[in-house]
Amino acid sequence: MYHKLTRMLAPRIGLYFAVMLAFAGVTALLGHREAAVAELVVVAALLVAFGLSALRRRREANHYIKEIMDSMDQATQASTLNCPLPLVMFRPDTDEVVWSNDRFLRITGDQETMFDTRLADLAPSFDSRWLLEGKSECPGEVELNGRRYQVFGDLARPAAGGEEGLLATTYWLDVTDLADTRDIYKATKPVLALLLLDNYEDVIKGQDENIRSAMLNDISQRMTQWVEQAHGIFLRLDRDRFLFLFEEQYLADYKEEKFSLLDSVREVVAPAGIPATLSIGVGVDGDTFEELYRFANLSVEMALSRGGDQAVIKNRFTFEFFGGRSKEAERRTKVKSRVMASAMGELAADASCLIVMGHKSPDFDAAGAAVGVCAIARMKGVPHYILRDHVSTPADDLYERVAKMPQYEGVFLDSQEAMLRADSRTLLVVVDTNRPEQVQSRELLDSCNKVAVIDHHRRAATYIEGADLNFHEPYASSASELVTELIGYLMEPNDLLPGEAEALMAGLMLDTKNFTMRTGGRTFEAAALLRRAGGDTGQVRKMFQTNLTDAVAKYGIIQNAKMYRQDIAIAASAHSVGRVTAAQAADELLNIAGIGASFVLYPEEGRVVVSGRSLSDTNVQVILEALGGGGNAGAAGAQIPGKTVEQVLEELHAALDRYFDGDEEEDRAQP
């Protein structure tokens, strides 16, 4: 280092001597030898004088630098020895302690010496990998003899590089008091929960007063017993709504037991055989009580939109779900449908134009619902369009049939054309999905000021917020059923074109599997209305016909299916198949005796698509939510990008094990 510094301080005058020598050479060539000799004598004298002067300056510089370095070494040694923080030096490769100051000796137990001691023996929770990664601060706190420390440090690397011979110096800052205060603050943060008896009317309807009082008293006692462990505030807000305020330190216990109150309340059964069900909405991580109440209210709405009988936790970022394994019972009233129909009619009448879109790769249900919405817009005299990009979808056959109708000439637009058509008064209607990441065009959704959502899928952690109309009924069989109900209040059956009625009927038949699954009284009422409007079931049946190649592929998938656990069939295809073919294969597997749920997996354009179906109490939506999917209790799907079929199959097995065994936390949705 000394030589480098002195070379930096020395002047660069070699060029000057070279020029003087050149002049002497030129003088000699011109014949002036005496003058050239004189010049060489002068240059030699100057060179000797400069050498002596440079030697003197170098000695003075070396002496000055040595004094500075010695002073720095003494200051470094003094600061190391007298460091106000516990300090320890060790070798990261062997974990051998090299030296420590007295303060570190005291925090480790007043040991006199630490030579031939490993740091891991003194602080088992300490890991030095962060030093090797180039960090200067330990990412977590280190506990030592009942105290908590934040550790800082750096590495002295050998000149040759590598890890051998590395010397680490670490400083240990006692943050016990601060950490304890922080933990107390987090543990005592308020949590607000709303408890709602979501089938209150069904349970007490038609019951004698004494039976009704006994049931409600039993439910109240179970709630009171459940909330006692948190020592919080529990009170009734309404006949079927309760408020529970407690500290966050007790929330982990409730999550660990998976909100056992849900199962406890379900044990209360009305004489008619209807079990009571409870929805719990929890708000956490709010800055104010007002924000906590808003989070809890959103959680209850989310629980109800997913079928009730579950607990939902909402923080400022996402939702967390517990329960929700039971299938939905139909709890709809025509009052809501009539109100939604009136609101839909007003929104359509006030719009400059109406654009309908469904989910990515729309099926018959999304396409049928879109056609039904266009029928409403036609009756209101509003220009209407259906979003249809130039890609192959399962609804292509239905769209081609509709496109041949004179009333639907120029109705179909791609995403770019729809963006050009949209203005500030455009009404965008999203059908058969409530998740913004699943719509056909996210850009169009973000661009439109007025949005209406019509969907029957259970709500996931992400959903379209701020919609002007949200007709969301998870108890309906299909989006086509919901649109048909709106049509029943806004139009006469004769005003509906036969082709439109058949499109809606195709959506009904698809999601109900020819009226064998997820059907209620309202489903058949909708089908009757469509039949009166001229819908031909024979024509609809032709839409579901498949060619011989797809039929062979479907039964090839079924042939490769394997049983998992007891009644679950899983078919994993190594090559891509049609989405309709895969869905039909999953449906067909349910026709085999002993199979209560089925899953079909296949690769498609850099992702793996999963179709899940269920006939039993197995809720395939909760299972596939763990893989980032969604749907309903009896029919769900997922699309997992960047993974192979084998990797997704392992994740599906793990999700099934969690669902049935309950060894880990309940499946939860992701942002």
Q: Are 88 and 104 in contact (CB under 8 A)?
A: yes
3-class DSSP assignment, residue 664 = coil
Find the helix or strand (DSSP H, E) in which 149 lies.
strand 147-156
Q: Distance between CA 207 and CA 215 in Å, rounded?
A: 10
The CATH code for residues 87-183 is 3.30.450.20
Domain 548-661 in CATH 3.10.310.30? The answer is: yes
3-class DSSP assignment, residue 90 = strand
Q: Which residues pair with 144 in a beta bridge?
A: 147
Q: Are 589 and 558 in contact (CB under 8 A)?
A: yes
Give the side-chain half-sphere CA count within 13 A for 527: 20
Domain ranges of the chain: 2-81, 87-183, 191-323, 342-543, 548-661
The two tokens of residue 278 are 């409870």
State the CATH class of domain 191-323. alpha beta
- At residue 611's C-alpha, the angle toward residues 608 and 613, to 5°, is 160
Exposure string over 383-396, b if 16+ CB within 10 A, otherwise e: ebbbbbbeeebbbe
Q: Distance between CA 217 and CA 138 in Å, rounded?
A: 54
Fold of the 342-543 domain: inorganic pyrophosphatase (n-terminal core) (3.90.1640)
Q: Are 332 and 476 in contact (CB under 8 A)?
A: yes
Q: Are 37 and 56 in contact (CB under 8 A)?
A: no
**Helical axes 479-490 vs 521-532, angle rounded to 10°:** 60
Q: Distance between CA 590 and CA 2 in Å, rounded?
A: 84
Q: How confident is the model at residue 150, as a pLDDT?
A: 92
Find the helix or strand (DSSP H, E) in which 196 lies.
strand 190-197
Q: Which residues pair with 272 in a beta bridge?
A: none
- Block means of pLDDT (10 residues each) for the chain, 671 residues, are 50 70 78 78 80 74 58 55 79 81 79 68 85 86 88 75 70 90 90 91 81 89 92 91 94 90 89 86 92 92 82 88 65 75 90 92 91 93 91 87 91 91 92 90 91 86 85 87 92 90 91 81 89 87 81 86 88 84 87 89 88 84 84 82 89 88 46 33
Q: How confident is the model at residue 5, as a pLDDT?
A: 46
Instruction: Give pTM, 2 decimals.
Output: 0.63
Q: Which residues touch 521 (CB under 8 Å, ≥6 apart)?
A: 330
Q: How confident is the model at residue 114, as a pLDDT?
A: 58
Count of residues making up the chain: 671
